[in-house]
């Protein structure tokens, strides 16, 4: 299977996406009205990626589970992955809560619920979404096998993939032709991704131009402190928490981030971590992670290990409470964390999903008025980049940790791949 985004072609695409982001920012500042009109470019590119995510998740997870053969090994790897996901999402939630409480970016706004314009908020949240734990669990079951792919629900596709993988592994020798066919189909979808990725610079240009043209950096006002706090917290989580975890594995977070620069720039331009999922998986395999482990952990992490989204959820919730002068007791804060541990698992890694999950969380808790989310509408798009970037790095680290834990990581190969290549010796 070819590896998108790696080598000379990957470096060229990286520079093209970077140029697209820069041109988008420049156009957004110089001609905001033109920039806003380019919104379909960014949305169209992300739509193409989302169109392929369901089949890729299904084929890779099914193949990963069936490829392990031993269902006990599948259960062991899955349990380790879920345990790690829960530890990291809890750490992200707590870190976000502590930082926003200490800095208090919402203090001093003194907004009144009755004075807020909720028209745009109502429009944003008009799409139906599950409420409560039971409805979230019921929503995991698709109406039909094909329905999960039609609806684009990654969690439902994941459920089908796990069931299919277990069934295929149970077939033994009879299942090998099907497994080989799935691998070929996965290769087809990765090839399609390679074609779509040629449009990445255009998508990044349109998405970034729209963001700057629509909202403008100067229009952020006193909400800028929340944005800065969120970005700083995300960096602290990546290089502090995830960095410490990766150091225990024997690798450097700085070298890993540099190794994933193409994927990070793509995510920065599109605000969607899903756009980098295929190349992330192939890069992790190239680092020395076992293929079945990568194919099981990475797609699962895209639904259950959204570290950046978790940081955003706690910081945004407390910010709204501070802005509306709603005091939160320690018990109410702990209750908020408990609910977020559940609702954050239903947030997909695409633009806008964190905002809907935040609304569902506040509705469930009941202590902070949902109408206060209208304060975040103008800046949510600016924070989506940090959410997606943190989610991507978090899933990369999770895969390396689980692979090392399982004894399925070639550590020497990973170190050699991440080691900076010295410049060729110059002959005088």
Cα 301 to Cα 398: distance, rounded to the nearest angstrom: 8
Proportion of the chain above pLDDT 90, given as a percent: 20
Residue 95 scores a pLDDT above 90: yes
Q: What is the pLDDT of residue 300?
A: 81
Inter-residue contact 93 to 241 (CB < 8 Å)? no
- How does residue 129 score in pLDDT terms, banded at 50, 70 and 90? low
For range 66-70, the mean pLDDT: 69
Q: What is the pLDDT of residue 176?
A: 84
Mean pLDDT is highest, among 19-23, 130-134, 213-217, 381-385, for: 19-23
- How does residue 3 score in pLDDT terms, banded at 50, 70 and 90? very low
* Stronger pLDDT, 361 or 9, i.e. the higher one: 361
* Stronger pLDDT, 188 or 135, i.e. the higher one: 188
For range 87-111, the mean pLDDT: 87
Cα 151 to Cα 141: distance, rounded to the nearest angstrom: 12
Query: What class does CATH assign to 7-418?
Result: mainly alpha
Cα 208 to Cα 22: distance, rounded to the nearest angstrom: 8
| 27-65: pLDDT as tens digits | 888 888 888 888 888 778 777 877 877 787 788 778 877
Q: What is the pLDDT of residue 201?
A: 84
Q: What is the pLDDT of residue 242?
A: 95
- How does residue 1 score in pLDDT terms, banded at 50, 70 and 90? very low
* Stronger pLDDT, 354 or 403, i.e. the higher one: 403
Residue 213 scores a pLDDT above 60: yes
Residue 302 scores a pLDDT above 50: yes
Cα 314 to Cα 328: distance, rounded to the nearest angstrom: 12
Q: What is the pLDDT of residue 349?
A: 44
Task: Say which range, 132-141, 237-246, 384-393, 419-428, has the weakest mean pLDDT.
Answer: 419-428
Residue 236 scores a pLDDT above 90: yes
Task: Say which range, 19-28, 67-76, 253-262, 279-288, has the weakest mean pLDDT.
Answer: 67-76
CA-wise closest residue to 392 among 279, 248, 312, 251: 279
Is the pTM here over 0.75, yes or no? Answer: no
Proportion of the chain above pLDDT 70, given as a percent: 78
* Stronger pLDDT, 121 or 84, i.e. the higher one: 84
Tell me what the pLDDT averaged over the chain comes to. Answer: 79
For range 71-94, the mean pLDDT: 86
Q: What is the pLDDT of residue 240?
A: 95
- How does residue 245 score in pLDDT terms, banded at 50, 70 and 90? very high
Contacts of residue 224, defined as CB under 8 A and 6 or more positions apart, other chains included, come to: none
């Amino acid at each position: 299977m070819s590896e998108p985004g790696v080598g000379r072609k990957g470096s060229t695409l990286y520079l093209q996406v970077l140029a697209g982001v820069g041109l988008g920012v420049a156009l957004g500042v110089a001609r905001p009205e033109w920039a806003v009109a380019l919104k379909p470019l960014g949305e169209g590119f992300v739509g193409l990626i989302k169109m392929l995510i369901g089949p890729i998740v299904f084929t890779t997870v099914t193949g990963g589970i069936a490829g392990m053969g031993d269902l006990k090994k599948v259960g062991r790897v899955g349990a380790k992955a879920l345990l790690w996901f829960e530890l990291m999402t809890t750490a992200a939630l707590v870190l976000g809560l502590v930082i926003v409480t200490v800095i208090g970016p919402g203090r001093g706004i003194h907004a009144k619920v009755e004075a807020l314009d909720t028209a745009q908020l109502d429009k944003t949240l008009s799409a139906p979404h599950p409420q409560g734990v039971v409805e979230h669990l019921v929503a995991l079951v698709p109406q039909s096998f094909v329905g999960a792919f039609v609806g684009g629900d990654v969690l439902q596709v994941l459920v089908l993939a796990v069931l299919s993988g277990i069934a295929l592994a149970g077939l033994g020798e009879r299942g090998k032709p099907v497994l080989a066919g799935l691998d070929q189909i996965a290769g087809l979808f990765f090839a399609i991704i390679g074609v779509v990725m040629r449009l990445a610079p255009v998508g990044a240009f349109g998405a970034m131009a729209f963001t700057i043209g629509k909202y403008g950096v100067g229009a952020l006002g006193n909400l800028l402190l929340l944005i800065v706090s969120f970005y700083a917290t995300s960096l602290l989580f990546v290089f502090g928490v995830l960095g410490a975890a990766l150091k225990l594995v024997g690798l450097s977070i700085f070298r890993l981030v540099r190794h994933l620069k193409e994927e990070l720039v793509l995510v920065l331009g599109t605000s969607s971590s899903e756009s980098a999922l295929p190349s992330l998986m192939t890069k992790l395999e190239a680092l020395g992670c076992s293929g079945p482990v990568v194919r099981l952990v990475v797609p699962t992490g895209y639904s259950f290990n959204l570290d950046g989204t978790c940081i955003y959820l706690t910081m945004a919730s407390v910010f709204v409470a501070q802005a509306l002068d709603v005091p939160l007791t320690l018990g109410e804060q702990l209750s908020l964390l408990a609910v977020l541990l559940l609702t954050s698992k239903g947030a997909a890694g695409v633009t806008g999903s964190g905002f809907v999950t935040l609304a569902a969380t506040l509705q469930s808790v009941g202590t902070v008025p949902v109408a206060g989310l209208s304060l975040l509408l103008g800046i949510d798009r600016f924070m989506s980049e940090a959410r997606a970037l943190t989610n991507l790095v978090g899933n990369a680290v999770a895969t390396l940790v689980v692979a090392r834990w399982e004894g399925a990581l070639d550590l020497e190969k990973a170190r050699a791949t991440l080691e900076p290549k010295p410049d060729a010796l110059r002959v005088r």
